[in-house]
Each structure stands twice: as C-alpha cells, then as structure tokens.
C-alpha cells in the first residue's frame, strides 16, 4: 500500500466537521457505506466526510448502487475514485457548490450493512485471546499445538449479521453446568461480546485457484468493527468436537463504514512474533508481509448499562487493545483460506477473532475480563457485571493515530441486549 497526496495531513475540507481533530472521518479517511434517506426504500453508496454522507451516485461519481459490484471492480477503480473525492472535497475545490447539494447529515440517514455478505468466516488471530480462553476450557492445555501453524477459523452464519445500533435478542439454547445431571434449555445466562475487526473481500478468485500471499492484499477492500456476540454457556456445551454453532449464529454486529485498505496505508507496521515463536510456513510468509503486514489500530470496548442510561451517565470504557498484536495478518488469512482452492467472492467477510492484548485488563471479551464470571467487573456507578444483562449497550470503537498523519476512525459498532422471547 503506497502513500500519496490523499494521506497528506495538511489537507483540509470545505466540510467543516471533517476538520475537527476528534472526527473519525477527516478527508484522509473517506470510508464507504450504504445509506438511505428517511422514507427511501433503496440503499445508495455513500462516503463519510465529517458528520455528513456524500451521495456518490447523486454526485455522478459512480454509476451503480451495488456495493458488491463496486468492490469487485478492483483497487484501480477504488483508488481513482479516492483521488477524485479527495480533490473534490478539499478546501478551495471548484466542485464545492455542486457537491454540497449531495451531502446528507449522518443523523438524517439510515445505514445498512456495507454490502451483501455472501459468506462469513471467523478466525482466531489473537494468541492472547486463544490462551486466555484456553485456560478456562482446558487449564492443562490452553493453546492447542496447531495454533502457531494454522490461522484457525470456522464458517459462520452470514444471514444473522446486522448493522450498528441493532437490538440483540437474548438467545435461547441448550447448556449443561458441570454439576447438572442433564442439560436444560433456556435463555443464556452468560451472554458476551467479542471485540473484532471485519475484513471485506474486494475481488475473488476462481475455484481451485489459490491466492498467493504476495497477491493477497489486492483482494482486500477494507475493514470495519465487528462484534461476534457469544453465549458462553451454550458454547461450552456444544463446541466439541465441531466448534461453535448456536452459541454464535444468533447475531453479529458490524459498524456501517468500511475503512479502505488505502486509508489504512499510513498505519502499517512490521509483523513480528515474539522470540521463540515459529516462523510461518512459506505459503504464509513474504518479506513484504514481515515488513508491513500488521496494522496499528487501537480498539476499545465501552459499556452503558440500563442504569447508566436512566441516570444520564455516559458509557464506561472497559478495555483497550491493538490489532498490531494479532498473531496472523490479513494477507495470511486470505492465503490460507484459499490454499485449498476455496473461491472467495466480493463482499465475503472475514472476522478477525477476538482482539485481546498481552496485558491484564486487555481481554476482548467479558469472559476474559471477569475470569469466566468469577471476578465481576465493578462499574463506576456501583453496578457489577460478570456477563451482559438485558438493557446493556456494548459499543466498539477503533481508530488509527501516527505522528505526521491525521487520525482516522471507524465510527461506532453498537448493540443493545433485549430480553429473550417467552
């Protein structure tokens, strides 16, 4: 990923809100999403700029409302549009008067899923999360021997992925406690969030034709925040021998904006594992991946309970981690997913797996932060949480910062727990 004039920190926009240092969407970002105005039925492709959405078709900058078709068109078209948008939206642009009529306040639109998601694979890229969880399920053998060699993943449910601000119905399922004589069915008692990133495929590959790791980045469109809600008691009972099923397929939540790989270029960092860890196999390794395969993205989880909301209190931050600590890179995920000839398609989604950090208090799930429920979190308003309760709103946030470049962010990925159906 090359740096160019669109990344220049000195660029400002005639959209005033885009110049706020705290905004997630300065002119250096320009993420893509699908929106519709109040009363409209059809979603359009838009770009976030400050607190506004630019209607790309209305501005005659694209000729489609099909995000998947736009993603399939590839990086050249995307880069050409990014350059045109940067020029048109910067201070002094002669196109200001024309484009002003194509802006819509973000508060006045409904956001949809960023694209049609045909297939969804969830990975397990944080060795810190894998180890933390492994200790709870397998105290004597927390990290299975294949973890350091294979980017572990499972095929998830695309139909139940929703967009930020959705309500999450507490799922019902089967579970069995260690002292129970038989399993029972009922609402989960151990509902949890998982702090993840979602990676979107741009152009796919023909079935039977693997994507070499050297070409993998060209098949990525961009990233969004992703919450893979999990019912831990259902998971513990069902996950062996085939892995997650009803504990995860009831709901997942995405943030509505895809931050493109081009926008993330200034925040690439070397990919390096701790001393003593094995080197990836040759099909998962290149000099370029070692030099800049990781991405410096700060990630946070915030919680607002029903009690906080009723008292007018803001959400409380529970933790912070960083995607640069991931054990596997995005390019490695693409290469491994296709090494057997699996065919990817535009709009396919990869979940990164829960992004936990190496330090105590950096767990990307409540399962980790509460020690499996044995050490409840003490909140500022006096409440305690081992797992999520009805009325709780979980908010994921992510952003990139680096000296000499503008801060960019992902917007929020929020979901609120509502009671199980009777």
Same domain, 93 and 191: no
Same domain, 36 and 9: yes
196-244: pLDDT as tens digits: 999 999 999 999 999 999 999 999 999 999 999 999 999 999 988 888 9
Work out how many domains the chain is built from and give that number: 2
Same domain, 168 and 71: no
Share of the chain above pLDDT 90, in %: 94
- Single out the residue of 337, 357, 365, 364 nearest to residue 153, CA to CA: 337
Q: In this predicted structure, what is the pLDDT of residue 422?
A: 83
Asked if 370 and 384 touch (Cβ cutoff 8 Å), the reply is no
Report cis status (omega within 30 of 0) of the bond before 241: yes
Q: In this predicted structure, what is the pLDDT of residue 243?
A: 87
15-25: pLDDT as tens digits: 999 999 999 99
Q: In this predicted structure, what is the pLDDT of residue 417?
A: 98
Domain holding 31: CATH number? 2.30.30.230
Same domain, 95 and 165: no
Q: In this predicted structure, what is the pLDDT of residue 308?
A: 98
| The last residue of a domain, from among 111, 138, 163 | 111
Domain holding 383: CATH number? 3.90.850.10
Same domain, 309 and 347: yes
361-378: pLDDT as tens digits: 999 999 999 999 999 999
Q: In this predicted structure, what is the pLDDT of residue 138?
A: 83
Same domain, 144 and 252: yes
d(CA 381, CA 377): 11
Among 7, 128, 129, 337, the active-site one is: 129
Q: In this predicted structure, what is the pLDDT of residue 208?
A: 98
Residue spans of the chain under pLDDT 50: none
- Single out the residue of 304, 419, 299, 314 nearest to residue 365, CA to CA: 299
Same domain, 17 and 154: no
d(CA 133, CA 16): 45
Same domain, 107 and 124: no
| The last residue of a domain, from among 111, 137, 156 | 111
Same domain, 62 and 199: no
Q: In this predicted structure, what is the pLDDT of residue 139?
A: 86
| The last residue of a domain, from among 70, 94, 111 | 111
Q: In this predicted structure, what is the pLDDT of residue 7?
A: 98
Which two three-digit tokens encode residue 3? 């740096």
Asked if 261 and 221 touch (Cβ cutoff 8 Å), the reply is yes
Q: In this predicted structure, what is the pLDDT of residue 44?
A: 97
Domain boundaries, position 14: 5-111
Same domain, 89 and 217: no
Same domain, 281 and 406: yes
Asked if 84 and 6 touch (Cβ cutoff 8 Å), the reply is no
Q: In this predicted structure, what is the pLDDT of residue 240?
A: 83
CA atoms within 13 A on the CB side of 353: 25
Same domain, 72 and 140: no
129 carries an active-site annotation: yes
């Amino acid at each position: 990923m090359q740096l160019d004039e669109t990344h220049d920190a000195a660029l400002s926009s005639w959209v005033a809100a885009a110049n706020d240092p705290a905004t997630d969407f300065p002119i250096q970002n320009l993420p893509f999403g699908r929106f519709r105005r109040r009363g409209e039925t059809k979603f359009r492709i838009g770009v976030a700029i400050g607190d506004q959405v630019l209607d790309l078709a209305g501005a005659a900058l694209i000729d489609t409302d099909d995000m998947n078709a736009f993603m399939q068109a590839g990086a050249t078209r995307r880069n050409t549009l990014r350059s045109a948008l940067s020029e048109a939206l910067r201070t002094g642009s002669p196109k200001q008067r024309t484009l002003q009529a194509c802006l819509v306040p973000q508060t006045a639109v409904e956001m949809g899923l960023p694209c049609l998601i045909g297939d969804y694979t969830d990975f397990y890229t944080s060795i810190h999360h894998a180890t933390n969880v492994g200790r709870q399920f397998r105290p004597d053998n927390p990290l299975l021997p294949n973890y350091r060699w294979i980017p572990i993943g499972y095929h998830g449910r695309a139909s139940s992925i929703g967009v930020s601000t959705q309500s999450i119905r507490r799922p019902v399922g089967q579970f069995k406690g260690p002292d129970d004589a038989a399993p029972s069915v009922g609402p989960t008692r151990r509902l949890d969030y998982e702090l993840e990133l979602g990676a979107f495929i741009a152009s796919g590959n023909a079935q039977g034709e693997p994507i070499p790791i050297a070409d993998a980045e060209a098949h990525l469109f961009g990233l969004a925040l992703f919450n893979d809600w999990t019912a831990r008691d259902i998971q513990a009972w069902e996950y062996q021998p085939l892995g997650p099923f009803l504990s995860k397929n009831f709901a997942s939540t995405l943030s509505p904006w895809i931050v493109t790989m081009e926008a993330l270029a200034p925040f690439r960092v070397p990919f390096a594992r701790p001393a003593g860890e094995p080197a990836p196999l040759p099909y998962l390794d290149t000099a370029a991946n070692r030099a800049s395969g990781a991405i410096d993205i700060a990630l946070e989880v915030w919680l607002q309970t029903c009690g906080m909301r009723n008292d007018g209190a803001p959400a409380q931050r529970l933790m912070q981690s960083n995607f640069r600590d991931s054990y596997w890179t995005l390019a490695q995920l693409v290469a491994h997913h296709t090494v057997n000839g699996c065919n990817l398609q535009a709009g396919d989604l990869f979940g990164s797996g829960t992004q936990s950090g190496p330090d105590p208090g950096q767990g990307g799930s409540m399962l980790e932060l509460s020690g499996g429920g044995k050490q409840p979190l003490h909140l500022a308003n006096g409440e305690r949480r081992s797992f999520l309760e009805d009325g709780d709103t979980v908010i994921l946030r992510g952003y990139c910062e680096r000296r000499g470049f503008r801060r960019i962010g992902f917007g929020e990925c929020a979901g609120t727990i509502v009671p199980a159906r009777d």
